Structure formats: structure tokens, C-alpha cells
């Protein structure tokens, strides 16, 4: 032990010291608290904000968060393995720019859309290869590709905007499912959410993601191909970001190089708010979807209540900080208590 | 939260841990030198090529513009490096800079008679307070810096928007003496660039020669081991955040003086550019290695690319793509050098971790 008696034992506090505390369970289930917060927010908004509790508004709310929800799905899996992908918004931007350019060149959208998703796959694979084959930290790699993909988007489209997509497509992107107020994209989110959720929570591959996030090296020695798994996750992330690029372009009817600028931080914020640990190894998809929805509900309710959108930034920030500080503090207080008594 | 048993003085008579930061072993130091020489070489090459194509590039005025442009990024990159070295990151710097710049403008509007140095100090103070908030949350609450500073990025920006509520502050609201700061020169070098240079040298000197500076590397290399060897880790993590906040505040002041037009969006997206400059400069994103000189060179290189592309008649749309490529090349190069050093230190072992 070092001379700094005050701090050393805290680090050494044994994890198995007490497992009885209810506080521990409270701290352990971050996603339950997020879902709880979501329920409270929805109830509060329905009671207090006029116009919130309507199907029409729910449709708008979902369109508003659709892109973040889509990209958050693969991001959850990536963060659980202890990696991160900051290039998603730039992938979206580049896809959007290429979509615009191909449309200007006269290709039919039926051809363009698969090409765009394919482009996302390639961009994701570049990230994945740099992380796995070259062994570079994903945080640095994706900051690099974030700049590079966004730069290429400007190279492709410059500061032009392509906005003459046919109405069947742009209108179709925001059209509602017949008989309901919900947009079609809900189905896309549900299907992809189902796929990623099942993979993460109900397959051996999903279990291995948690293992990789907890201890990369040990997982490798236990015979799981860590590199291969991570590569696929980055490819999935690129593909979904490419798809989101197509959706974004059609939803707003405009292909621009700066589309979704800065969205990566919103996605990461939503994922972390949803209870995924930035160190990997912990997290659940329902929590993340609740996190995305929570941010959407708050933003929607605030704008309906005519509160300026600046407050949303503060709320997002406070939620994020509180959601990590609170459980950590509870855990630490709990750890210190038994130490003070008998030992 | 952190106990204060250890005296602050660098010559405290407790067990002196050998800080084993990236720059300390001889092989490690050589790697750093190769690394920094590499950036310097790239910089010289870029300047040479650009000047060959367009001799106007080295004209006194455009050099002054370039230095002024690099000033903000350099100051921010130095602060960020201190944080990165301890294996943390501060994503809130862009927001802090924006908040400080707006505070400066608002003070001039509210108290037109206030002397510029007082206002500048107030701007730095705003940054320092933000840094303290980050530092307390990261060091005392021991939560991951990436999450905390992502949160405070939104908070500080939100406060900025809320405070500005759509207002814009123009050059006319600020005294000429303050706005002319960039035109004041010392031996032909603009004053802000001199300030940036002093910041770089001070931080470099501190990291190299002070025990607590060396301990930052130890904390970043292996926090657990640093704690066990008696380094007050929480304090070593806390102080860089405060310094970084203060420097971001200073950057905000310089921004206000340079551009004169201030709204709540100042510094948006700057955080990733700053991290990029540090990474290009060889500061490892996972701590324990790198120097502020490298980070400053990285910032200078990125700024020079910005200025050189139009001169080379390359479409400025290429700028970001080139920067991205440069980041990837830099981290690839770092990885290569690290693997080689590790191999040499192990005497031919092949495990490159």
C-alpha cells in the first residue's frame, strides 16, 4: 500500500463485501431507471402539456428521433464491446451526398438506395479493419474517419444541395402506416431493433459481446474471434448509418454534405443515458431505446410548451451526468459503509 | 472528496515513484523525438511546396494570419493534451470556449468602461469554473471523463444559448483596444501567438521537470499502479481539467478579440478538432504518452493545411478529408513506433500489445 492511505483502500474495496443491499440492485439496473424515467416523462408531458398525448404528435415525435434510434442500435453493441464509432454522422452525411450526386447523374432511386447502403457497409468495414487488423483504438480511428468521411461528402457534393427527389419517395419516407398516426419508419426501427436485440440478448454471439467488453484478452483466449466480431459490428454500424443517410435525405427532401452534422454525440449520449457502460461489458438494448425515447419526449414536450430548445441541451447534459454520477456515488457510499463498521 | 494528506510541494519526502511515461525511457524518448520531427518535417514540406507554388504564402501578412489562426487551436490542444496524458478526455472545450467568449462580449456590453485585462481575466475565470465542474465530476465522483464531458458539453452549450437567447454581440460593442489585440506585435509576432507560445513552453516545462508533471504520465500509463505507488491520482486528474478549462477560457477571450462577432454557437464542434490536433501531434488517446510540443505542432500543422490548400489551388472542400487522412496516418505511425519499441525493449519478443 502506498502512503496515500485515504484513497488506496477505496480502490481495493472488495466487490463481494456485501450483496444484500437494495441500493446495489437499484444501482445495478440502470435500464430499469431509464424506463422508469421515460414513463414518468410521458405521464408528466401528457398531463401538463397540451397536445402531447395525441397520435399525431406521437408520429412527429417518432420521425424526430428515428435517425438517432436507428444508429443507436448498432452503437449499443459496439459500446458494449468497449469500442465506439464516432464516424456514424459523417457516414450518414457522405451517404446523403453520394445519393444526391448519383441522382443528379440520373440513376434511378431503386439503384441508388442499395448502392448507398453498400457504401455504408464499405465505410464501416474501413473502420472495422483499422480497429481490428491495424489494432488502432476505435476512438482515435473514428475521429479520423469522422473528419475524412465528412470531408469526402464535401468533395462529392460541395456546398450544393440536391432537393429534387420525386415526391413518391420523400412523401413515402414520412408517410403514416394506414389507419394509424405512426410513420412507416417505426416498422424499420422495430425490425432492426428486434434483430439487434435478439442477437445481443439471446444468442451466444451476444453473450460474447459482453465478454469482449469485460475482458477482451480473456475472451480471445477462450476461443472467440474478437477481431472478427468487432469487424462485423463496425460493418453493421456503417450499413445502418448508410440506411439512415437514405432515410434522412428523403425525410428532409434534401441531400447535403453537412447533413446530420454533430449527430454522433447525440447518439452516444442516448446510448450512455440508456445505461450502457462506456467501459464496455454492460448494457441492454431496451434501456437504450428508452433513452432515445426519453430525449425525444423531453424535446417534443418542451417545444410544445413553447420552451426554447436551448433548455433541451441543458436537460440532456444534466440527465447524462446525473445518470452516471448517481449510480457511481451510491455504489461508493455503499462500499464505504461496511468498511467503517467491522473490518 | 480526495483526502489531502500529501503536501502539494513537489519535493514531498514520500516514496518518489518512478514515472514511467512514454517519454521517460531512452527508447521511448527517441520515439517521441522521431515522432515530433516527423510532424515538423511534414510541416516544413507543406510550407515549402506551398511557397514554391505560391510565393505569396510566406508574405508577412499571411504568416501573421496563419499564426493568429493557429493560436486558438494550439492553446486548446495544450490543455487537452494535459487531460489526455492522464487517460481522460475533455469534450466540453468547444462549449467552454463559446461560453467564455460570450461572457467577454456581454461584460463589454454591460460595463462599457471596464478595462480589457479585467474582462479577459473574467473570461479565463469562466473557463476555470467550467474546468472545476468537469474536474470535480471526473476526479471526485470517479465517473468516466468521456461521459461527464459529453454531458457538460451539452450543459455549457445550453447555458450559453439560454444566456444569449438569440442575441448577437458585434465588434461595435467592444473597445478598439481589445479588438486590436491581434494587431499588437512583439518582434513581428502577433501578441496572441506569443501568448500561445508561452502557454506551450510553460506546460512543456512543467510536464518535463516537475514531479507532479511526471506523475501525470504515471497516472495515464496505469492509474491503478500510480495509486498504489502513492500518487494522489484524484488530484492529478483534477488539476489538468481545471487548467484545460482556464485555457479554454483564454481561447474564448482571444476568439472574442479576434472575431468580434459573438453568438451562442461559438466553438461548436471544436472539441473534436482539438482532440485531432493532439492526436496528430502524437498524444496517445489512452494516456501516458505524448508532449505538448507535439500537440502544438499538430495544431500548427492542421492550421497550416487549412491555409495552404487554397494557396495550392486545391478545392477547400478537400481540407477535412485531408485532415481525416492525416489523423489516421498519425495514429497508424504511433502504433508502428510503439510496436517496434516494445519489440526492442523485449529483445525481439513478437507480442505487440
Model pTM above 0.90: no
| pLDDT, tens digit, 9 for 90 and up, residues A131-165 | 999 888 898 899 899 999 999 999 999 889 999 99
List chain A residues with CB under 8 Å of B141.
325, 328-329
Q: Measured between CA atoms, how close is A177 to chain B, in angstroms? A: 35
**Spatial distance between the Cα atoms of B215 and B238, rounded to a whole number of angstroms:** 13
Nearest to A75 by CA among A201, A241, A204: A241
Asked if B99 and B153 touch (Cβ cutoff 8 Å), the reply is no
Q: Which three cell numbers stand for residue A335?
A: 462500499
Decide if B143 and A11 are in contact by the 8 Å CB cutoff.
Answer: no
| CATH, residue B89 | 1.10.3470
Residue B260: closest CA among B325, B169, B133: B169
Question: In this structure, what C-alpha cell is assigned to residue A183?
Answer: 410513420
Using CA atoms, how far residue B219 sits from B21, B147, B238, B241, in Å, is 9, 19, 12, 14
- Which residue in B3, B4, B147 has the most chain A C-beta atoms within 10 A of its own C-beta, making it the best mutation to test that interface? B147
Nearest chain B residue to A315, by CA = B155
Q: Closest partner residue to B269 among A4, A262, A315, by Cβ?
A: A262
The answer to whether residue B65 sits within a structural domain is: yes
Of A11, A151, A310, the CB nearest to B161: A310
| φ, ψ of residue A162 in degrees (nearest 5) | -105, 120
Assigned domain for B157 exists: yes
B196 falls within a domain: yes
Residue B88 lies in a domain: yes
Quick one: pLDDT at residue B30? Answer: 65
Query: Is residue B231 less than 8 Å (CB to CB) from chain A?
Result: yes
pLDDT (tens digit per residue) in B277-332: 999 898 988 888 889 999 999 999 999 988 888 888 888 788 888 888 888 888 88
Count of structural domains within chain B:
1
In three-state secondary structure terms, B70 is helix
Cβ contacts below 8 Å, chain A against chain B, sum to 184
| B346 is a domain residue | no
According to DSSP, the β-strands at A161-162 and A255-256 are antiparallel
Nearest alpha-carbon partner for A188 in A65, A336, A339:
A65
How high is the ipTM of this complex?
Answer: 0.80
Nearest CA to CA, how far is B123 from chain A (Å)? 21
| Contact at CB, B321 and A154, closer than 8 angstroms | yes
Establish if B23 belongs to a structural domain.
no
Contacts of B353 (CB under 8 A, 6+ apart): B342
- pLDDT tens track of chain A, all 343 residues? 333 333 333 333 444 444 445 555 544 567 788 888 999 999 999 999 888 888 889 999 999 999 999 999 999 999 999 999 999 999 999 999 999 999 999 999 999 999 999 999 999 999 999 999 988 889 889 989 999 999 999 999 988 999 999 998 988 888 888 888 889 999 999 999 999 999 999 999 999 999 999 988 888 888 888 999 999 999 999 999 999 999 999 999 999 999 998 888 889 989 988 989 888 888 999 999 999 999 999 889 988 888 777 777 888 888 888 888 877 777 777 777 655 444 4
Q: Which residues contact A185 (CB under 8 A, 6 or more apart)?
A: A62, A63, A66, A173, A247
DSSP of A296-335: HHHHHHHHHTT--THHHHHHHHHHHHHHHHHHHHHHHHHH
Partner A contacted by B340 (CB < 8 A): no
CB count within 10 Å of CB B67 equals 22
Interface mutation vs chain B, best among A147, A151, A322, A325, most B CBs within 10 Å: A147
Cα separation, A30 vs A271, in Å, equals 12
- Torsion over CA: B57, B59, B65, B68 (sign): positive
Element (H, E) at A338: helix A310-340
**Nearest residue, CB atoms, A320 vs list B150, B228, B323:** B150
The answer to whether the beta carbons of residues B95 and B152 sit under 8 Å apart is: yes
What length does chain B have? 353
Q: Rounded CA gap, B160 and A313, in Å?
A: 10
The answer to whether B203 touches B82, Cβ cutoff 8 Å, is yes
Residue B26 lies in a domain: no
* Other CB atoms within 10 A of residue B302 CB: 26
The gap from C-alpha A308 to its chain's centroid, in whole angstroms, comes to 25
Q: Which domain holds residue B264?
A: 55-330
Contact in structure between B285 and B89 (CB atoms under 8 Å): yes
B343 to each of A37, A136, A210, B27, B233, how far by Cα in Å? Answer: 51, 17, 31, 11, 30
Is-contact A292 A270, C-beta < 8 A? yes
pLDDT at B13: 36
Report if residue B298 sits inside a domain: yes
Does B9 touch chain A if contact means CB atoms closer than 8 Å?
Answer: no
Of A3, A155, A262, the CB nearest to B230: A3
User: Residue B150 and residue A145: Cβ atoms within 8 Å?
Assistant: no
**What is the crossing angle of helices A204-214 and A185-202, to 10°?**
70
State whether residue A216 sits within 8 Å of chain B by CB: no
What domains are defined for chain A? 58-325 (1.10.3470)
Amino acid at each position: 500500500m502506498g502512503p496515500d492511505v485515504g484513497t488506496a483502500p477505496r480502490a481495493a474495496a472488495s466487490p463481494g463485501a456485501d450483496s444484500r443491499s437494495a441500493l446495489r440492485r437499484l444501482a445495478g439496473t440502470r435500464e430499469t431507471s431509464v424506463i422508469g424515467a421515460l414513463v414518468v416523462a410521458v405521464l408528466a408531458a401528457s398531463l401538463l402539456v397540451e397536445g402531447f398525448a395525441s397520435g399525431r404528435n406521437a408520429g412527429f415525435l417518432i420521425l424526430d428521433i428515428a435517425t438517432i434510434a436507428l444508429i443507436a442500435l448498432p452503437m449499443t453493441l459496439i459500446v458494449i464491446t468497449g469500442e465506439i464509432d464516432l464516424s456514424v454522422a459523417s457516414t450518414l452525411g457522405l451517404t446523403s451526398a453520394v445519393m444526391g450526386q448519383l441522382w443528379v447523374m440520373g440513376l434511378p432511386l431503386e439503384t441508388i438506395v442499395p448502392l448507398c447502403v453498400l457504401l455504408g457497409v464499405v465505410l464501416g468495414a474501413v473502420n472495422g479493419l483499422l480497429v481490428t487488423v491495424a489494432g488502432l483504438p476505435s476512438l482515435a480511428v473514428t475521429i479520423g474517419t469522422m473528419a475524412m468521411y465528412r470531408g469526402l461528402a464535401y468533395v462529392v457534393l460541395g456546398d450544393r444541395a440536391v432537393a429534387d427527389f420525386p415526391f413518391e419517395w420523400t412523401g413515402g419516407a414520412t408517410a403514416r402506416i394506414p389507419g394509424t398516426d405512426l410513420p412507416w419508419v417505426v416498422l424499420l426501427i422495430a425490425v432492426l431493433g428486434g434483430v439487434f436485440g435478439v442477437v445481443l440478448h439471446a444468442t451466444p454471439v451476444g453473450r460474447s459481446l459482453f465478454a469482449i467488453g469485460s475482458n477482451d484478452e480473456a475472451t480471445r483466449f477462450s476461443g472467440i474471434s474478437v477481431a472478427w466480431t468487432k469487424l462485423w459490428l463496425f460493418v453493421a454500424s456503417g450499413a445502418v448509418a448508410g440506411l439512415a443517410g437514405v432515410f434522412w435525405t428523403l425525410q428532409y427532401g434534401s441531400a447535403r454534405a453537412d447533413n446530420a452534422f454533430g449527430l454522433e454525440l447525440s447518439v452516444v449520449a442516448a446510448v450512455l443515458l440508456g445505461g450502457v457502460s462506456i467501459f464496455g461489458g454492460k448494457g441492454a438494448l431496451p434501456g437504450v431505446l428508452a433513452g432515445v425515447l426519453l430525449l425525444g419526449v423531453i424535446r417534443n414536450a418542451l417545444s410544445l410548451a413553447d420552451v426554447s430548445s436551448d433548455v433541451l441541451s441543458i436537460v440532456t447534459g444534466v440527465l447524462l451526468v446525473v445518470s452516471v454520477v448517481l449510480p457511481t456515488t451510491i455504489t461508493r457510499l455503499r462500499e464505504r459503509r461496511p468498511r467503517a463498521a467491522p473490518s | 472528496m480526495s483526502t489531502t494528506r500529501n503536501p502539494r510541494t513537489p519535493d514531498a519526502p514520500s516514496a518518489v515513484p518512478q514515472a514511467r511515461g512514454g517519454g521517460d525511457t531512452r527508447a521511448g524518448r527517441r520515439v517521441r523525438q522521431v515522432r515530433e520531427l516527423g510532424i515538423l518535417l511534414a510541416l516544413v514540406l507543406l510550407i515549402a511546396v506551398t511557397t514554391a507554388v505560391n510565393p505569396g504564402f510566406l508574405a508577412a501578412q499571411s504568416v501573421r494570419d496563419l499564426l493568429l489562426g493557429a493560436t486558438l487551436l494550439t492553446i486548446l490542444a495544450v490543455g487537452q493534451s494535459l487531460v489526455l496524458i492522464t487517460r481522460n478526455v475533455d469534450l466540453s472545450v468547444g462549449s467552454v470556449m463559446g461560453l467564455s467568449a460570450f461572457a467577454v462580449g456581454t461584460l463589454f456590453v454591460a460595463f462599457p468602461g471596464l478595462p480589457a485585462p479585467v474582462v479577459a481575466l473574467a473570461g479565463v475565470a469562466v473557463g476555470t469554473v467550467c474546468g472545476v465542474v468537469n474536474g470535480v465530476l471526473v476526479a471526485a465522483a470517479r465517473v468516466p471523463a468521456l461521459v461527464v464531458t459529453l454531458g457538460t458539453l451539452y450543459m455549457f452549450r445550453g447555458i450559453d444559448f439560454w444566456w444569449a437567447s438569440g442575441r448577437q454581440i458585434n465588434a461595435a460593442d467592444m473597445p478598439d483596444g481589445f479588438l486590436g489585440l491581434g494587431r499588437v506585435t512583439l518582434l513581428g509576432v502577433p501578441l496572441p501567438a506569443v501568448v500561445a507560445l508561452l502557454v506551450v513552453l510553460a506546460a512543456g516545462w512543467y510536464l518535463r521537470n516537475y514531479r507532479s508533471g511526471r506523475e501525470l504520465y504515471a497516472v495515464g500509463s496505469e492509474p491503478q499502479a500510480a495509486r498504489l505507488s502513492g500518487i494522489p491520482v484524484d488530484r492529478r486528474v483534477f488539476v489538468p481539467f481545471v487548467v484545460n478549462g482556464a485555457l479554454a477560457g483564454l481561447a474564448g477571450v482571444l476568439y472574442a478579440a479576434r472575431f468580434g462577432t459573438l453568438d451562442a454557437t461559438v466553438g461548436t464542434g471544436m472539441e473534436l478538432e482539438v482532440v485531432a490536433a493532439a492526436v496528430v501531434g502524437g498524444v496517445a488517446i489512452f494516456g501516458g504518452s505524448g508532449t505538448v510540443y507535439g500537440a502544438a505542432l499538430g495544431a500548427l500543422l492542421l492550421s497550416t493545411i487549412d491555409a495552404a490548400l487554397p494557396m495550392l489551388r486545391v478545392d477547400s472542400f478537400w481540407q477535412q478529408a485531408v485532415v481525416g487522412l492525416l489523423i489516421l496516418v498519425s495514429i497508424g505511425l504511433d502504433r508502428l513506433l510503439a510496436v517496434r519499441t516494445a519489440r526492442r525493449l523485449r529483445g525481439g519478443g513478437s507480442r505487440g500489445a
